[in-house]
Amino acid sequence: MLEIKASETVKEGSIFGQITQMDHEQLVICHDEATGLKALIGIHNTTLGPALGGTRMWPYATEEEAITDVLRLSRGMTFKNALAGLNLGGGKAVIIGDPKLKNEAFLRRFGRFVQSLGGRYVTAEDVNMKTSDMEYIGMETKHVTGLPEIKGGGGDPSPVTAFGTYMGMKAAANKAFGSDSLEGKKICVQGVGQVGQYLIKHLVKEGAEVMITDIFEDKLKSVAKETGAVAIDPNVIYDLDMDIYAPCALGATINDETIDRLKCAVIAGGANNQLKDEAKHGQILLEKGIIYAPDFLINAGGVINVGAEYFGGYNRDIVYKQTEKIYDTCLSILNKSENEQIPAQQAAIAAAKERIEAIGRVKLPF
Ligand code: NAD
């Protein structure tokens, strides 16, 4: 019989082309006519354990956009979970459509699809999904986490994410200034949402000079009043004189337009995918001498929280102890970046891959 090599059947840009390039195990397409559900589940790597990552609901303009997003996000979860020391692989789901489509039947149907994977994928909240949505999904599958506290879950992961981000920021400050004290440091937090608000409180408590910004003026004013931080116009942030820039809003804020304007010594924030082009902008930051704390490393507090809930016996003190370790991991990654003269993001991905490979070898084939 003629043997066909996998690489010969793969076209660049096709679904199999993308999966091969990013090294995914599985991409699941879920469809239900009755509820209007259209979802994709990406399972990137399950060497360390079940693939855990949230479900995002978004009105993607094209199917291609949704596929690219689920593949990129699930790959990111593999590295995040590995570097956080979790025994979890990387996965993510996207539901295509207006979040207003969500109702009990819609979410329970999605729960059925998650259940059909037999635990290879574990879901949780992400953009446009709430803890209450997880309750409906949880009626059809046990492979769901991030439930409300009242239902025995770990509750809102944002304070834990913010604490981990704070730990990562202190480690980066140690590297840049020779001390991890943030007292008197000029720090600008972009985005006063769930993560940003908790982070601001840690920084103010430590005596930092905190500036904050958001596109919603009312919210910005009210957080400034509550915390004592100084409100800044969102359009001037990239030109500000500051020691630390903390992106806590959307991704890709470090890009061709902003990178030369940034005058900070450190970038450390909770937002996902801060570098628009991972390789290019990571390299420019290295050359400019800006210490960059990789986002997926320092914002892992949330997944540490939902992971602890999934494995059972949830204990918030243990979750915070584990999240505190982000400080040491971040410092060792920044040292690796300096010693090997490679961007911090690249050093972090390499360390995550090393752990996956080492643990993969621990398992006996039979
Ligand atoms: P959120 O929606 O509560 O807050 C985001 C805030 O950013 C909002 O107040 C929004 O108005 C503001 N914003 C949007 N665009 C802006 C702009 N151009 N300039 C200034 N402000 C802007 O979201 P969140 O849960 O706080 O998450 C923030 C980031 O952290 C996201 O990138 C998210 O993916 C990431 N993250 C969150 C968690 C978590 O536990 N919530 C975990 C890991 C990563």
Please give the pLDDT value at position 250: 86
Out of 38, 80, 92, 201, which one is annotated catalytic? Answer: 92
pLDDT digits (tens, 9 = 90+) for 67-119: 999 999 999 999 999 999 999 999 999 999 999 999 999 999 999 999 999 99
Please give the pLDDT value at position 7: 53
Q: What pTM did the predictor assign?
A: 0.93
Please give the pLDDT value at position 4: 45
How far CA 59 is from CA of 34, 63, 157, in Å, comes to: 19, 10, 25
Q: Of all atoms in ligand 1, which is nearest to the CA of residue 219? A: 9
Please give the pLDDT value at position 2: 43
Listed residue (214, 211, 275) closest to 243, CA to CA: 211
Is there an atom of ligand 1 within 6 Å of 215 CB?
yes
Query: Which domains are seen in the chain, by residue range?
Result: 2-18+25-73+91-144 (3.40.50.10860), 158-299+327-353 (3.40.50.720)
How far CA 266 is from CA of 38, 205, 207, 285, in Å, comes to: 41, 20, 17, 10
What gap in Å lies between CA 94 and CA 324, rounded to an integer?
A: 30
Ligand 1 atom 34: residue of nearest CA: 272
**What is the average pLDDT value for the chain, to the nearest integer?**
94
Listed residue (16, 32, 25, 15) closest to 120, CA to CA: 25
92 is catalytic: yes
Please give the pLDDT value at position 8: 54
How far CA 1 is from CA of 4, 22, 296, in Å, comes to: 9, 30, 46
- In percent, the amount of the chain with pLDDT more than 70 equals 97
Inform me whether the pLDDT recorded for 167 exceeds 70.
yes
Please give the pLDDT value at position 151: 85
Residue with tokens 């409300």, as numbered in its chain? 148
Angle among Cα 240, 187, 278 to the nearest 5 degrees reads 80
Ligand 1 atom 35: residue of nearest CA: 271
Is there an atom of ligand 1 within 6 Å of 53 CB?
no
Is there an atom of ligand 1 within 6 Å of 272 CB?
yes
Please give the pLDDT value at position 149: 87
Listed residue (190, 132, 194) closest to 157, CA to CA: 194
pLDDT digits (tens, 9 = 90+) for 229-275: 999 999 999 999 999 999 999 889 999 999 999 999 999 999 999 99
Distance 182 CA to ligand 1 centre (A): 22
Torsion of CA 60, 70, 124, 107, to 10 degrees: 50
Distance 219 CA to ligand 1 centre (A): 13
Distance 189 CA to ligand 1 centre (A): 11
